Amino acid sequence: MSTLFIRDLPESERPREKLLRYGAAALSNRELLALLLGTGTVSESALQLAERVLATAKGLTGLAGMSCEELQKVKGIGPAKAAVLLAATQLSVRMAESARGAGTTVRSPQDAAKLLMVEMKHLDREYFRIVLLDTKHRVIDTPIISIGNLNSSIVHPRELFKECIRRSCCAVIMVHNHPSGDPEPSSDDLDVTQRIVEAGQLLGINVLDHIIIGDNCFVSLNERGLM
């Protein structure tokens, strides 16, 4: 690969100038990533470094799932550049979540899974979240209740229902991810679900479902008749 730095490109082909003239939508993934990186290495341009990052990640979806440590294994990516990339991917996730907005009505397991699929499908450990709903099943919030290790998530009914009571919700849907990408429920998942459903009955809070998110797929324990 020959070394061609961005300053050597015609002005009309430089990512920053191109963005300012035509808008961000006119830039390729490589060009957008090069702008975030800012600089390349001694032997390659920011565009060439961006190309290698995308190749290593196997595209944007893979990039969103990379950790800081994994990013720094790419030659030319140090802590500063890794931090910028992680911040950018997290912002994109949060913008997608914000676009859904509170007030969305959940009518089915598919609606509940769609709320959090983008954010949770590539997490490297189990996150346990809840979807808080009002009397018309509109979303109030989707807080994180616990974060587990690489293989499991630990959640206590006390922490879950404390958030439900604090936000005055009428119903709740449990959601957690399986980092393996396989959403099939474990025996622990079934045990936790049963304990929380029983606690909800005592408190008068309707536990509607437990959604397990995998890699672009999910399982609804309610649809399976497992709760």
pLDDT digits (tens, 9 = 90+) for 23-39: 888 899 999 999 999 88
Backbone angles phi, psi at 59, to 5 degrees: 105, 180
Residues 6+ apart with CB under 8 A from 17: 11
Among 157, 110, 88, 163, CA closest to 133: 163
Evaluate whether 212 touches 110 at the Cβ level (below 8 Å).
no
Task: Give the integer Cα–Cα distance in Å for 131 and 21.
Answer: 42
Task: Give the integer Cα–Cα distance in Å for 164 and 88.
Answer: 31
Task: Give the integer Cα–Cα distance in Å for 16 and 28.
Answer: 12
Task: Give the integer Cα–Cα distance in Å for 102 and 75.
Answer: 41
- pLDDT tens readout for residues 165-216: 999 999 999 999 999 999 999 999 999 999 999 999 999 999 999 999 999 9
Q: What is the mean pLDDT of the chain?
A: 89
